[in-house]
Structure 1
């Protein structure tokens, strides 16, 4: 990408999209086009078609998606499969119609089988059953990968896909009803500290292991791959290390400064036992993460504190 090329970041107000926009601006890209969901409903085929005809983006980062944790995926499975399929179908197809030079599609590590061998290599896709709690979302993301690959094969497009691990950072969703585990725990510990509660409850046993990548690291990797990667296979993006949910909770407890106890509600689902990505392909391509977990949590908590009043509304 040249600094003057028109770059469309779909989903620029979300965790990933906002990090991508910051990273692009930091690297000197000065022709970035964005639209809010109020300005452009990405589920609407006609609106997306009109947008591409008018704006004619040369590069596209497809970070727009309906996302959420276990509770949200369980409660709104139809929304998760419909919205995500509609968004990616419209953007990928119009990128082809509009002659976009290159598109990067962002998936999720939940595409891998529930009991996948660890760490998860790209070749393990579709080698077993998915985790039931987020199957609709995972199926939509798998369809996005296959759509990019299919358009490349049939039309000679340059549509690449990346699969990030669990993400966190500024502009994350801290809603306790539908957020992911790390931002939910930051808010739980903060509010327990403020209210002098004796304990914080964690869903499940605390034993599942998860890998966490700061959104700023992901954004840097995406821009790097957009400029350097031309293969048809998707690429895992992660740190290559994981910790238990209990260890995560203890780290967040320390960062927040909560002095009470942890309790575990074992009646709640654990989700997938372990989700660690094999990042050997990414390392061979010349990129690795630089933000360690504790530093990243400290940065995210600082942003949360500055944004707390708006988050609560």
Structure 2
């Protein structure tokens, strides 16, 4: 089986690639195909078409995306909607055009309305207004779901989508301005401890609640959903609802998360709030009952996962520059 992992150098794509390579080493008949951004520009339709035509692929895993936190989404909204739309359109269409019958697309929990009932069910999609701070990215991800649905309906292919909650872990982006909340906190508390600072200020009130899933759990869930037989998958997505939530089913306030990160790192100072900065959506918790009923649940606790991520961070000096 020839499997193309788009975005293999990203956090999730890298975790999925590692699991596929481990299976191959254990004797499974798998050929994993990858291309770097320099080798293949996924926003270029002609390049993607030529690549798909030459590789005779059986499965495509679309983990490539332009991602970032609140600051990045607010600062570069055109980049986020354009690049993600182009990647999805090119990869999904060219996969179909070149005979790929099974594809897995990775999305994001930001697809759901800002005021969606909690926990958020798959059926909440397109039932309300999106969170303004990441609306362009969310619209692109919704388009990816609808592309998969539409190709399934019109052409009978088996293109699936998984919608993860907030992800973290080895390989994350720890940039001081463009990272998500957990790696941003991890870096901030690490630097505060190193400098001997007496306090750390976090964005917003600290009251919003978020759910976090370790990237290795996400990789497990992605391959689990990809490999479900079609009848089981369609029965659990009501056939036309071709996306599945992936998460832990539990959440934590940003202030409690900051305390957890500080404890793991060993920072003993004060934690302050900058309420001039936006909170974003007050709560985002995924309803993962469909995936649980199918037989999968997360295995890595948040404290264990943060400790693992911090150890990786300490052993990766290049990402702290």
TM-score > 0.5, shorter chain as reference: yes
Residue 22 (str. 1) matches residue 31 (str. 2): no
CA distance in 2, matches of 1:14, 1:179: 13
**For each residue in 1:214-272, what CA deviation from the matched residue of structure 2 results, as whole angstroms up to 9, or x when unmatched?**
01001001111111153242100000000000111101001111111101000000000
1: CA distance, partners of 2:33 / 2:191: 37
Match of 2:320 in 1: 312
Query: How far apart in 1 are the matches of 2:39 and 2:174?
Result: 24
Are residues 1:72 and 2:81 paired? Answer: no
- Partners in 1 of 2:311 and 2:229 — Cα distance? 34
Instruction: Show structure 1 runs of 5+ residues with no match.
Output: none
Distance 1:35 1:55 in 2: 12
Aligned to 1:270: 279
1:48-100 per-position Cα deviation (integer Å, ceiling 9, x unaligned) = 01111111221111000000000000000000000000001000001101111
Task: Within 5 Å, give how 1:170-249 maps onto structure 2.
Answer: 170-230=170-230, 231=234, 232=239, 233-249=242-258
Which secondary structure state, in structure 1, belongs to the residue aligned with residue 104 of structure 2? strand
Deviations 1:125-172 (A, max 9, x none): 111100000000000000000000000000111000110000001110
2:112 is aligned with 1:112: yes
Which of 254, 263, 269 is the matching residue for 1:260? 269
Unaligned runs of 5+ in 2: none
Classify the secondary structure of the residue corresponding to 1:259: coil
- Aligned-CA RMSD value: 0.9
SS at match of 1:27: helix
The change in CA–CA distance for 1:222 and 1:248 in structure 2 (over 3 A counts) is same
Task: Tell me the residue number matched to 2:153.
Answer: 153
TM-score norm. by structure 2 comes to 0.94
- Aligned partner of 2:100 in structure 1 is 100
Work out the CA distance in 2 between the residues paired with 1:26 and 1:261. Answer: 43
| Counterpart Cα distance in 2 of 1:204 and 1:102 | 42
Structure 2 equivalent of residue 293 of structure 1: 302
Runs of 4+ in 1 over 4 A off after TM superposition: none
Q: How many Å apart are 1:101 and its aligned residue?
A: 2.6
**2:4 is matched with which residue?**
8
Q: Secondary structure at the match of 1:246?
A: helix
2:86 pairs with 1:90? no
> In the superposition, relative to structure 1, how do residues 277 and 199 fare at CA in structure 2: closer, same or farther (>3 Å)?
same
SS at match of 1:66: coil
Q: Does 1:251 align with 2:247?
A: no
